[in-house]
């Protein structure tokens, strides 16, 4: 498994801790920035980098995006087909989203969770397999067919 991570300035400190934590667990993680704290950086830049990396092999790669609320990065990520980004609220919700909705990117709200909570949410995300039941597969296929450019 390969995980890609990116964060803006509000998520920078949490990202650094998450990277160390996942390295300790021998999980392959690739940091896509920001590489230094920069109060003027923008979350869409890092969400886009994570999305592009996951899209290279969406069945084999996962992503983690971090901003202050977690909402901005999830909005950007979900503009791409084949990406299903879920905002992490609690362990049960993340397990449900990973299993039933097959999320492949987890969005963490750095302003509202501490490192221990983030670690628990990430563990749930990584350890929960997507369900193989036909109804979930059918729903994912329908979601992936939504025309993101349609205004109807």
- The per-residue pLDDT for range 90-131, each reduced to its tens digit, is 999 999 999 999 999 999 999 999 999 999 999 999 999 999
Q: How far apart are CA 125 and CA 106, in angstroms?
A: 7
The CATH number assigned to the domain holding 120 equals 3.40.1400.10
Residues of the chain with pLDDT > 90: what percent? 88
pLDDT in tens, 4-14: 999 999 999 99
Backbone φ, ψ for residue 105 (5° rounding): -135, 135
Residue 152 within a domain = no
Q: How many domains is the chain partitioned into structurally?
A: 1
The domain in which residue 61 lies consists of 2-144
Residue 150 within a domain = no
Residue 72 within a domain = yes
Residue 45 within a domain = yes
């Amino acid at each position: 498994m390969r995980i890609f991570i990116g964060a803006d300035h509000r998520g920078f400190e949490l990202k650094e801790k998450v990277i160390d934590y996942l390295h300790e667990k021998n999980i392959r993680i690739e940091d896509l920035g920001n590489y230094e704290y920069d109060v003027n950086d923008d979350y869409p830049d890092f969400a886009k980098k994570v999305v592009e990396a996951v899209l290279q092999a969406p069945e084999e790669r996962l992503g983690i995006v971090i901003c202050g609320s977690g909402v901005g990065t999830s909005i950007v990520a979900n503009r791409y087909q084949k990406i299903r980004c879920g905002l992490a609220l609690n362990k049960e919700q993340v397990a449900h989203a990973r299993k039933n909705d097959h999320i492949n990117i987890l969005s963490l709200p750095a302003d509202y969770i501490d490192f221990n909570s983030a670690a628990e949410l990430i563990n749930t995300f990584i350890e929960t397999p997507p369900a193989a039941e036909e109804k979930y597969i059918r729903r994912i296929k329908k979601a992936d067919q939504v025309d993101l450019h349609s205004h109807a």
